[in-house]
Amino acid sequence: MGNTGIIFSSFQNQRRLVKLITDSQSSQQLETNLVIDVFNHFDPKEYLDMLPKPLNPGNKMVLDTLTGIHDLDFRIKEMDKNGVDVQIISLAVPFLDDIQVPVPQITKIQKTANDGIARVARESKGRTIPIATVSLLDVGAAIDELQRCMKDLGMLGVQIYSNCRGKPLDSKEFDPFYAKLNQLGGGLWLHPAWMRTIYEWMNEYNMNMMMGWGIDTSLAMYRLMRSGIFEKYPTMKIICHHLGALIPLQARRIAGMTMGQGENGKPPAPLTRSAMDSLKMFYVDTAEGTWKPTLILGESFFGASHTLFGTDYPWGDTKLTIENIKSLNISQEEKEMILSGNAKKLFKM
């Protein structure tokens, strides 16, 4: 177990975490009120230094305006202000798949970036827990990096994007990656990516990010489910950003049409569960939780047991998301499951 693994072990020791966060609460109180943000982002210096220069205007604007994306001290102050005890951190923009360098160079960048995420977690003294980020452009390299990050650096799992430069996530070439992840028992964090083939005008008004990302996430979730990932790996933990995007909204339509045409017109492979039950095997974060109707819809579909507090920090409104979760018409036990219980159970914290 690497240094980050030692940090994770120290996180398991509730007394040390209590001392780190506050001396005024008892261990039992903290256990009850703990808040774990499972999906947010950080760009370590090592990553930024390796990116081709100059940065594109969008990425430069993010770094210039969102201090928390690269400043750990600022982030921890924000966590304290917003009542977040621990964050699970992953790489932010630009996405590895979209860096315009040869694929072997992306492999080097992802290794350096993950080392940087691990360093940040060590320096945070237990306030952040790292996950890896890999590109599936080189599946063999992604598998090697996944194994290194989980075994040597003690990471909880890995973040990938909702398409790999246009290839769907159920492409057969990715099967060995999912098999290795399942063998290691790690979580799979699914982050939205750009839609690659779109109306030209979707690049106007920021629509590709605003709505395209949600569409792409939904397509990725559906294809993973329909191609049978939960048939092969029924215990796989896939955590999807932004409350599962369109899946809760379109669930009935999806369920009614899912047994139609399969790949390339072939009959679809059978499912041992209904499409609706299979979709509910995904886990989702609350990164759209600032709009309470969306939070209500997402939680009502996936259930409290498959909804995890996640804010997409440094974007969104952490405090409002927590307030909206606490005001849901569900039991106190279910609220605590969302805010920390599910994460502790899934990742053996």
Write down the pLDDT at residue 229.
Answer: 96
Contacts of range 272-281, beta carbons closer than 8 Å, 24 or more positions apart: 272/231, 273/230, 275/225, 275/226, 276/251, 278/225, 278/230, 279/221, 279/222, 279/225, 279/247, 279/251, 279/254, 279/255, 280/306, 281/225, 281/230, 281/234, 281/238, 281/306
Q: Which residues contact 291 (CB under 8 A, 6 or more apart)?
A: none
Task: Report the domain count for the chain.
Answer: 1
Write down the pLDDT at residue 100.
Answer: 93
- Considering all CA atoms of the chain, what is the largest pairwise distance in Å, rounded to the nearest integer? 63
- Pull the structure tokens for residue 230: 């939960």
What confidence category does residue 289 fall into, taking pLDDT thresholds of 50, 70 and 90?
Answer: very high
- Pull the structure tokens for residue 320: 């409002």
Which residue range(s) make up the domain with 146?
3-346
Query: To which residue do tokens 């009935």 refer?
Result: 252
pLDDT tens for 87-120 read: 999 999 999 999 999 999 999 999 999 999 999 9
What confidence category does residue 33 fall into, taking pLDDT thresholds of 50, 70 and 90?
Answer: confident
Q: What is the mean pLDDT of residues 337-344?
A: 98
Q: What is the mean pLDDT of residues 287-295?
A: 97
Write down the pLDDT at residue 9.
Answer: 45
What confidence category does residue 191 fall into, taking pLDDT thresholds of 50, 70 and 90?
Answer: very high
* β-strand pairing of 307-308 with 283-285: parallel
Give pTM, 2 decimals. Answer: 0.90
- Which spans in 164-260 are helix H? 175-184, 207, 213-226, 229-232, 247-257
Under a CB-based contact definition with an 8 Å cutoff, are residues 132 and 113 in contact? no
CATH number at residue 25: 3.20.20.140
Write down the pLDDT at residue 21.
Answer: 37
Write down the pLDDT at residue 265.
Answer: 61
Q: What is the mean pLDDT of the chain?
A: 90
User: Does residue 156 register a pLDDT over 50?
Assistant: yes
Write down the pLDDT at residue 264.
Answer: 66
d(CA 96, CA 101) in angstroms, rounded, equals 10
